[in-house]
Amino acid sequence: MTKTISVNLGKRSYQIIIGNKITTSLAKHIKKLGLGNDAIIITNPRVKKIAGPQLISALKKSNISCVFQTVPDSEKSKSQGIAFRLIDKISRYARLKQPFIIALGGGVVGDLAGFVASVYKRGIPYIQLPTTLLAQIDSSIGGKVGIDLTCGKNLVGAFYQPRLVFSDISFLQTLPKNEIRCGLAEAIKYGLIKDKALFEYLEKNYQKALGLDENCLEYIINKCVLIKAKIVGQDEKETKSIRTILNFGHTIGHAIEAAGGFKAYSHGQAVGLGMLAAAEISSSLGLLYNPEKTLDRIKNLLRNIGLPVKIKGLNLEKIIKAHTFDKKFIQGRNRFVLMKQIGQTLIKQNIPSGLITSAVRKLV
C-alpha cells in the first residue's frame, strides 16, 4: 500500500511517498508540484541501468524531457571536482531551460545532486528518488546535502530541502546484500535513539530484511521515515539539539570512513562501529542502563546482520585525529550523542579524549 508521510516545514514542506512499484505514478506528482518539463537525472551507471528505463518511460508519458548526468559509483563522487564538473555541464545544457534535478540512487548521489541543486543559480528544485535502503530511510529526507573534503565527511554543504521524496521499494530487489546491511545499520540507529520496539523488531526480523521480504522492508522504512520526518520538522537546521540525535554513531563513524580513505568502510558499516563506540563511551561515563547486556544486544544484532563489530586495518591515531574534524566540534569542544538506554539518547560535551580513545581502542 502506498503511504504518504509529510515533512512539515511551512513553505518548504514536502511529501515522502513510499510504495511498491510506484514509479509509473511519479510524473503525476511532478506535474502537481509544477516543477516543469525538463528533468536532469543525476545518477551513476549502475543505477541508470537498473532504474533508468522505468523512469524514462514514466516521464515520457507525461511529456517531461530528461537527460542523464552520470557520476562514478563511489563516495569519491561527493567531491569538489565532480560537483563542479556537473554544474558546468548542467549550465551548458540548461541555458534556455528551467530544469529541475532528479537524484536517482543511493545516499552518495542524493547528497551530491542535492548539493548541485542548492548552489546552481542559487538553487533550483530537486526531488529524491532513493534506490538504497539507507537512502530510503535516511539520506533522502531532511535536506542535508553536501560533499566531502579529503580531511572529513560532508564538510561542504547546505540544508536544502527536496520538493518530493519518492521511494519505490521495488528498486531494493536488486540491491546487493551488503547494501541492505548498511541500510539496516541506520535502521538500528533509529531503534537506539527513539524506538525500542523497532530495535526489538530488527532483532527478531533481520533475516527477513536480508532476504528482501517486501513487507518487512516496508515496515522498517515506514517506521524510520516517520521518526526522521518528525525530527526534521521540529529542528530543520539542527539548532535545537533535537536533530542532533540523528548523528548517533556518526562522530566516530565519519572518522572511520575518513581514516579509511572512504574506501575501507562504507557509511553504514562505519556508523555501526560508531554506534558501538558511542555506547562504550556512554557505559564508561555510567550513563548507560544495564550496560553489559545493552552493549551485547547491539553487538549481536550488528554481527547477526553481517556488519563489522571490529575495526580492521585502520590506525587508531588516524581515527582519533579524523574525529576532530566532525561538525559537532565547536571551538575545540567535542559533542557526542550518547545513550541512556535503547530508545533514549542524551547529548554530552567535553568528553575526555582518553575515554574516546579507549572506546575506539576496544574496537580495534
Name the residues annotated as catalytic. Answer: 122, 144, 186, 228, 238, 243, 247, 250, 254, 267
In contact, 129 and 166? CB cutoff 8 Å: yes
Closest CA to 108 of 300, 257, 294: 257
Sole binder of ligand GLY in the list 247, 251, 269, 345 (CB under 6 A) = 247
In contact, 164 and 14? CB cutoff 8 Å: yes
- Applying CB under 6 A, does 267 fall inside the site for ligand NAD? yes
Sole binder of ligand NAD in the list 79, 118, 132, 251 (CB under 6 A) = 132
Is the Cβ of residue 327 or residue 362 nearer to ligand GLY in the bound state?
A: 327
- Applying CB under 6 A, does 134 fall inside the site for ligand NAD? yes
Which grid coordinates belong to 92? 551548458
- Contacted entry of ligand NAD, ligand GLY, none for residue 105, CB cut-off 5 to 8 Å set by kind: ligand NAD
Among positions 136-155, residues that touch ligand GLY (CB under 6 A) are 138, 142, 144
Which grid coordinates belong to 237? 537546521
- Applying CB under 6 A, does 139 fall inside the site for ligand NAD? yes
Sole binder of ligand NAD in the list 182, 270, 281, 298 (CB under 6 A) = 182
Closest CA to 278 of 303, 246, 312: 246
151 CB neighbour count, 10 Å cutoff: 11
- One-letter-per-residue 3-state SS of 280-332: HHHHHCCCCCCHHHHHHHHHHHHHHHCCCCCCCCCCHHHHHHHHCCCCCCECC
Sole binder of ligand GLY in the list 243, 254, 267, 328 (CB under 6 A) = 243
In contact, 137 and 218? CB cutoff 8 Å: no
Is the Cβ of residue 144 or residue 328 nearer to ligand GLY in the bound state?
A: 144
Residues at the site binding ligand NAD, with contacts judged by CB under 6 A: 44, 46-47, 50, 73, 75, 78, 105-109, 111, 131-132, 134-135, 138-139, 142, 144, 153-154, 171, 174-175, 179, 182, 267-268
